[in-house]
Structure 1
């Protein structure tokens, strides 16, 4: 493909920006089209956690590890804050502790997850003893975290300034064909069109996307302020996450954790609730999440779900919190695979996530997709 030709990308979320970076650094002219004036979708509503530890062995773990390096490069060049000190996953019960212990002794060694299990003195001195009421903490050393509301716009500016990517914001893409994009600002031609439209399955490529039977996942999220001086510097999870993340969920010991949830807190299972906590640069915490799967995301939040999340948060942090903001995150979900790179026709493809780990694997996924397109 001649470098003089443009690659046209629909969508300025993490997948769209990752594709723009992968193409532009290879010397291609890149144009990105986004219907809103700034990215407002899942990529800025999320926790900003780029997790390696939670990914299952195989392709997803490989992509997360490769993405980790890309995030480090982006933070240097785009000048946004990237926490590279890992995450803590707290075991609250004996079953959760046993699962983490088994993971460390088996899968972590076999697949070289960089983790350490903190107990005793190490746990009791963590953050001055703030988390000593837990049984153990799995420190995922390779996990990273950004403040998405600032990191995504900073990445846009970097791509514009340093790599010459041209952005068309407030521009609706009405239709696409191989090498052609029809927008509210006119028609654009390029060598490749790549659609990264998030969970919008109807505006573009509706027929080929329908064959994937796509759904959406709606999650309730909050920004809270601790009522103590916590100064949290790590992303936090609990043993509840072990039944959601592939690194742990298929281990035999996960069955005991799931049984415990069903016995003691069936409402958490019913609403897909497990706690994620992400610190912002300003002392606040982003917390969630819940999982509500449907073809179309409901606009209505359940107050009980927020209350359960707040309860989990306060139990985990051992302090009260004050709610500052509430919102919904929505992303594509429940495909046959965690993601799909769909080659519709020569010169026209789509990339979509079907699970909520776009920040964790998206950068490297786009690298692989661009490399493959350039060989066609």
Structure 2
């Protein structure tokens, strides 16, 4: 027997859950399908960094700021642990410091990035002098950090318990057509069907997705314990991130940073390594990451890449670390834009990320997409 909802959503990652929230808070009946017993994709393999500071000016920055507000709402409604005290991006070299100076003097003012540049005594006082070996630190005041492994299940519990969203886990959606979903749990119908399938480009809507020429990015990730009690309460980045994130990468001063990386540490450039560190609620650190692109994600990790990241982390933290867990992150990447909304047929759509910032912009992306689909 066909079961009916107002909106059917395929995928329980951050994009799928964000669409479910946007629809359910409007009073619509929502059903979500996820092939695994619990979400296992990019949304739980990441750092949990919801960054505003790194987004390029324009739509991505606007989405990140709007998403920040939604995360704040979720923290209250669903009881998420959310650190809202920002991030620190450390300049290790003169070129990186020059880039941060130029960003603060120009783009940050023009586009209202809320940042502070710490140097001198302010930097020396940070965490009792633990990071005084850097030249400067950019404090991104609007950046947030959460523990994805706990935040995603907490959001699911809230959506189910308080907003009546129906979840079908361990359920594979085999096929879709306008108004109808065929799954291992039966046939479901709805006026709107939204596919949020992450980096799975083959199971559903393979034809329209293939026209985007998307790729997959695989990342090597670590969880480690610092060998001193840092009590870290902020997400950390280094100047390596300045050539990766759009807020900085196209500034003229970024060319010198990129040239120095290629000249002095070409292995970091070749493996797409830019250091990110996120504290967990349990005193551990999530550390990464590398970037390798292709049509499929190789299952084989290179120990040397992990060694590069461990060395960078220890240099940044000023202490030794002990690795307690390793895994591979995977996300959809390198499409025609940072994200895509496909409308292959009436009442049938897909929302795809082509970059690793779904946690940063996904909530607001979904809010705007649902509003459009409903004709608001």
Q: TM-score range by the shorter chain?
A: over 0.9
CA drift of 1:344 comes to 1.1
Given that residues 5 and 31 in structure 2 are in contact (C-alpha distance below 8 angstroms), is that contact kept between their aligned partners in structure 1? no
CA distance in 2, matches of 1:30, 1:179: 14
Q: How does 1:103-114 map to 2 (within 5 A)?
A: 103-114=103-114
CA drift of 1:6 comes to 1.7
CA distance in 2, matches of 1:178, 1:279: 43
Given that residues 235 and 279 in structure 2 are in contact (C-alpha distance below 8 angstroms), is that contact kept between their aligned partners in structure 1? yes
CA distance in 2, matches of 1:214, 1:177: 22
CA distance in 1, matches of 2:306, 2:35: 30
Q: TM-score, normalised to structure 1's length?
A: 0.99
CA deviations over 1:41-74 (Å, ceiling 9, x no partner):
1000000000000000000000000000000000
CA distance in 2, matches of 1:178, 1:20: 19
Give the 4+ runs in structure 1 shifted more than 3 A. none
Any unmatched runs of 5+ in structure 1? none
Give the match's secondary structure for 2:20.
helix
The reply on whether 1:355 has 2:355 as its aligned counterpart is: yes
CA distance in 1, matches of 2:114, 2:214: 34
The reply on whether 1:174 has 2:162 as its aligned counterpart is: no
CA distance in 2, matches of 1:357, 1:374: 25
CA distance in 2, matches of 1:289, 1:5: 40
Instruction: Quote the residue 1:295 is aligned against.
Output: 295
Q: How does 1:135-284 map to 2 (within 5 A)?
A: 135-284=135-284
Q: How does 1:113-152 map to 2 (within 5 A)?
A: 113-152=113-152
CA deviations over 1:175-234 (Å, ceiling 9, x no partner):
011111100011000110000000000000001100001110000000000000110000
Q: TM-score, normalised to structure 2's length?
A: 0.99
CA distance in 2, matches of 1:242, 1:335: 21
Instruction: Quote the residue 1:339 is aligned against.
Output: 339
CA distance in 2, matches of 1:76, 1:222: 29
CA drift of 1:5 comes to 4.6
CA deviations over 1:122-157 (Å, ceiling 9, x no partner):
000000000000000000000000000000000000
Given that residues 261 and 268 in structure 2 are in contact (C-alpha distance below 8 angstroms), is that contact kept between their aligned partners in structure 1? yes
CA distance in 2, matches of 1:343, 1:65: 26
CA distance in 2, matches of 1:121, 1:330: 40
CA distance in 2, matches of 1:212, 1:302: 30
Instruction: Quote the residue 1:309 is aligned against.
Output: 309
CA drift of 1:80 comes to 1.4
Give the match's secondary structure for 1:125.
helix
Equivalent residue pairs, number: 373
